[in-house]
Chain A
């Protein structure tokens, strides 16, 4: 038998082109390749879908319109009047994460968002942007975010550190939620695939379970991308109106 395969092999990074800037390794890896493929696919999909601009949309155009409408409603509900300003950002974020999650389900491909460093880079960028925006728009009044209204002053020394910790845990929770969901789902699929081979004839039972797991994983891909987008809108809204 060849070397032992682990269900976690699918998350390993392989370099395709070696590239170094000084001491920093910026090689083109399979993760970068997947991101490039996703961007190209997304652009092709949106350009093709909106080419005809017919009033009664055909199938491809209605796909684009449905995703547009869902994110537009989300930004309008959570951000209010500033919704239209942040819509391109939230839409790009949502579609990128959605395609990252979905394309990782294809066998032998790579899930970009299953690495915490990728999701943490995105989440930390959003967190930094929201905090800086909050301070620019509100000045020192942004710190009112940490003291909810109607709290008696003697409770403040207890409540404010808790609020600060909860605020700082936002990018961490955003990142870990997405990465852990992706990693756990894909690892389960590989583990049950191992069972199919090991059981021989009775491997039909784990196989049916894998089919159901794929359905669940597809739903989770959509759900996690949507939750990421909604929470981004909520955190951005906190920058505009800092009060709990």
Chain B
């Protein structure tokens, strides 16, 4: 197999890792909505943690993207 095709296949495979981040972000916001429906008064206080959790989970998706770029162009 030529190196170019291998790079493209590797980059495509590395993008599968983004799926985990999608699940994680869904869990974060799902739990936030569910928790704020039980206790609406506490919702604004915990929203900061929601954003922090979202950014940290998104970072893992971007690690996978960076790996894909490294494989493609490295």
Contacts and interface: CB of A to CB of B under 8 A. Distances in A.
Interface of A: 173, 176-177, 180-181, 184, 223-224, 226-227, 230
A223 B50 CA distance: 11
Nearest to B56: A227
B29 interface: no
Contacts of A177: 55-56, 58-59, 62
Contacts of A176: 59, 62-63, 66
B51 A223 contact: yes
A227 B55 contact: yes
B65 interface: yes
- Tell me whether chain B's interface is mostly helix, strand or loop, or mixed: helix
Contacts of B51: 223, 226-227
Nearest to B66: A180
A230 B59 contact: no
Most chain A CB within 10 A, of B56, B58, B65, is at B58
A176 B60 CA distance: 10
B66 A224 contact: no
6 contacts: A176-B66, A177-B58, A180-B62, A180-B65, A181-B58, A224-B55
A181 B54 CA distance: 13
Contacts of A181: 58-59, 62
Interface string B21-59: 000000000000000000000000000000110111011
Nearest 5 CB-CB pairings of A with B: A180-B62, A177-B59, A227-B55, A180-B66, A223-B55
